[in-house]
């Protein structure tokens, strides 16, 4: 870690590994020339295994929200019946985008902190009269609550009860950090963003679509231009993008994927698993109650409740003073929870540092915490996940 830089523990943008930062400062090339084509083709090829698809992936120059909007405008038509499954503020946003474009959206709102229940979803799908929903919107990793939805189980229910519904997944903060098998699970559209697991600056949204989704795009009637996925597919076949892309971010994602290839996909997933376990154990040892249902705890962001009586502003100010940047709560959770991001370029060392700082500040502010206990709990939890320490030796 660089002691002159903050330990940015927010759930994206993540810090940039040095080689990714350097990649972003490289000189421009002709985005319609062979050098750029080589890079774009490599980015798409290396990203497909993380989507779990052999199909086409579109690289859009926009924020993750632009990727969600692309999903909506490409496959939905005004008046389409849509089920928006929301487990937090990003699920609400996805449903809102569909509503703004004229879809007839019914929301299945789940209590924040919980994952969607496949049986509740089954009932919601079954309650819809024929011909059923045109699409179901799902959030893979709900960044606002630190909850990861069981996408394979939810998709299986949709495929069974509503086989004609498109399954559209926001995996902006999940993909690249945890296993995802778009083709095997029968998912139609998946969206991710460069500033999350891909360890790059914000600026690109990647959208993968199934053959069924590509076919629907030919008949859907929502107007679209900049976000037209068909235009992206057409130009990608020539190693180009339809409009001038965020070239510097494409360089960065290319380098991020090279680092991920060196680490191996299994290694990337194991690191996220270990960092998540360490964060949860460290926070609990500090006396913080975790917000998410433990069975659905996210591998990329952990949310904890602000305890009664804790002056969060003062606490967070001290934490920031020591170089650790946490994220607060969003929307209705503002002031009630705080979040620790652990995705992208995160290392166990950075998590132990963050837990150590939280420990120091807790002790300084008179919270009943034993020096070293939380760091030890975090370390043990991570080592148990990695198999270095036998799970049996880890205190509950
Ligand atoms: N969806 C999820 C789950 C997210 O975490 C985010 C960003 O944090 C977004 C969508 C929106 O991405 P962006 O802020 O890049 O528009």
DSSP assignment string, 182-251: HHHHT--EEEEETTTTT-S-S-EEEEEE-HHHHHHHTT--S--STT-HHHHHHHHTTT--SS---HHHHH
Atom 2 of ligand 1, residue of closest alpha carbon: 172
Pocket test for ligand 1, best of 87, 90, 343 (most atoms within 8 A of CB): 90
The pLDDT value given to residue 386:
82
Residue 1 pLDDT exceeds 60: no
| Closest-CA residue to 361 (of 310, 290, 301, 300) | 310
278-326 pLDDT tens trace: 999 999 999 999 999 999 999 999 999 999 999 999 999 999 999 999 9
DSSP-assigned letter for residue 295 = G
212 Cα to the center of ligand 1, angstroms: 25
Q: What are phi and psi of 306, to 5 degrees?
A: -75, 120
33-55 pLDDT tens trace: 999 999 999 999 999 999 999 99
220 Cα to the center of ligand 1, angstroms: 25
The pLDDT value given to residue 325:
98
Query: Which residues have any ligand 1 atom within 6 Å of their CB?
Result: 12, 63-65, 90, 139, 141, 143, 170, 172-173, 193, 202
Q: What is the mean pLDDT of residues 84-100?
A: 98
Sign of the dihedral defined by the CA atoms of residues 95, 99, 105, 106, in that order: positive
173 Cα to the center of ligand 1, angstroms: 7
The pLDDT value given to residue 387:
78
| Closest-CA residue to 185 (of 155, 140, 224, 215) | 155
142 Cα to the center of ligand 1, angstroms: 9
What Cα–Cα distance (Å) separates residue 47 from each residue in 100, 253, 369? 30, 10, 43
The span from the CA of 85 to the CA of 231, in Å, is 29
132 Cα to the center of ligand 1, angstroms: 28
The span from the CA of 309 to the CA of 195, in Å, is 35
Q: What are phi and psi of 180, to 5 degrees?
A: -145, 130
| Paired tokens of 344 | 């992208």
Residue 3 pLDDT exceeds 80: no
Q: What is the mean pLDDT of residues 93-105?
A: 98
140-157 pLDDT tens trace: 999 999 999 999 999 999
The pLDDT value given to residue 389:
66
| Closest-CA residue to 58 (of 76, 75, 70) | 70
387 Cα to the center of ligand 1, angstroms: 32
The pLDDT value given to residue 390:
60
The span from the CA of 163 to the CA of 182, in Å, is 16
| Closest-CA residue to 259 (of 14, 39, 18, 26) | 18
248 Cα to the center of ligand 1, angstroms: 20
95 Cα to the center of ligand 1, angstroms: 14
Residue 7 pLDDT exceeds 80: yes
Pocket test for ligand 1, best of 65, 86, 171, 189 (most atoms within 8 A of CB): 65
Pocket test for ligand 1, best of 11, 13, 14, 64 (most atoms within 8 A of CB): 64
Pocket test for ligand 1, best of 72, 93, 140, 172 (most atoms within 8 A of CB): 172
What Cα–Cα distance (Å) separates residue 268 from each residue in 28, 160, 257, 281, 326? 30, 32, 11, 20, 22
Atom of ligand 1 nearest to the CA of 11: 8
Atom of ligand 1 nearest to the CA of 12: 8
Helix (H) or strand (E) holding 106: strand 104-109
317-348 pLDDT tens trace: 999 999 999 999 998 999 999 999 999 999 99
Atom 14 of ligand 1, residue of closest alpha carbon: 64
The pLDDT value given to residue 391:
47
143 Cα to the center of ligand 1, angstroms: 8
The span from the CA of 119 to the CA of 106, in Å, is 17
Atom of ligand 1 nearest to the CA of 144: 5
What lies within 8 Å, CB to CB, of 249 at 6+ separation is 24, 61, 194, 200, 201, 202, 203, 204
345-396 pLDDT tens trace: 999 999 999 999 999 999 999 999 999 999 999 999 999 998 776 644 544 4
157-210 pLDDT tens trace: 999 999 999 999 999 999 999 999 999 999 999 999 999 999 999 999 999 999
54-78 pLDDT tens trace: 999 999 999 999 999 999 999 999 9
Asked whether the beta carbons of 203 and 246 are under 8 A apart, the reply is yes
354 Cα to the center of ligand 1, angstroms: 23
The reported pTM is 0.97
The pLDDT value given to residue 394:
47
219-268 pLDDT tens trace: 999 999 999 999 999 999 999 999 999 999 999 999 999 999 999 999 99
The pLDDT value given to residue 4:
83
115-140 pLDDT tens trace: 999 999 999 999 999 999 999 999 99
The pLDDT value given to residue 152:
98
CB atoms within 10 A of CB 124: 20
What lies within 8 Å, CB to CB, of 12 at 6+ separation is 143, 172, 173, 193, 195, 196, 202, 341, 343, 344
The span from the CA of 292 to the CA of 302, in Å, is 8
Atom of ligand 1 nearest to the CA of 171: 3
């Amino acid at each position: 870690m660089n002691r002159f830089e903050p330990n940015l523990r927010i759930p994206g943008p993540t810090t940039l590994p040095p080689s990714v930062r350097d990649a972003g400062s490289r000189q421009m090339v002709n985005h319609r020339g062979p050098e750029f084509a080589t890079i774009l083709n490599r980015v798409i090829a290396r990203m497909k295994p993380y989507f779990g698809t052999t199909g086409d992936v579109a690289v859009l120059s926009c924020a993750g929200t632009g990727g969600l909007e692309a999903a909506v405008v490409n496959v939905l038509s005004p008046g389409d019946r849509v089920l928006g499954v929301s487990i937090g503020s990003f699920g609400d946003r996805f449903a809102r985008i569909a509503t703004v474009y004229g879809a007839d959206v019914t929301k299945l709102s789940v209590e924040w902190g919980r994952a969607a229940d496949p049986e509740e979803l089954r009932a919601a799908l079954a309650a819809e009269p024929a011909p059923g929903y045109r699409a179901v919107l799902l959030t893979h990793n709900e960044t606002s609550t630190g909850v990861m939805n069981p996408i394979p189980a939810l998709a299986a229910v949709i495929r069974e009860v509503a086989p004609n519904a498109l399954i559209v997944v926001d995996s902006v903060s999940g993909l690249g950090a945890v296993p995802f098998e778009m083709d095997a699970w029968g998912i139609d559209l998946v969206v991710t963003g460069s500033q999350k697991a891909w360890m790059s600056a914000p600026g690109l949204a990647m959208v993968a679509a199934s053959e069924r989704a590509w076919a629907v795009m030919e008949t859907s009637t929502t107007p679209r231009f900049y976000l037209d996925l068909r235009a992206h597919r057409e130009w990608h076949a020539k190693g180009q993008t339809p409009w001038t892309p965020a070239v510097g971010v494409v360089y960065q994602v290319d380098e991020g994927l090279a680092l991920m290839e060196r680490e191996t996909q299994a290694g990337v997933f194991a690191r996220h698993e270990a960092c998540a376990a360490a964060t949860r154990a460290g926070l609990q040892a500090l006396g913080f109650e975790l917000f998410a249902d433990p069975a659905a705890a996210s591998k990329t962001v952990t949310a904890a409740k602000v305890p009664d009586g804790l002056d969060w502003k003062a606490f967070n100010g001290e934490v920031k003073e020591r170089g650790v940047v946490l994220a607060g709560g969003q929307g209705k959770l503002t002031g009630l929870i705080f979040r620790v991001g652990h995705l992208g370029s995160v290392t166990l060392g950075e998590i132990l540092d963050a837990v150590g700082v939280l420990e120091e500040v807790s002790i300084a502010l008179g919270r009943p915490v034993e020096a070293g206990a939380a760091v030890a709990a975090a370390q043990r939890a991570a080592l148990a996940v990695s198999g270095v320490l036998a799970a049996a030796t880890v205190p509950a």
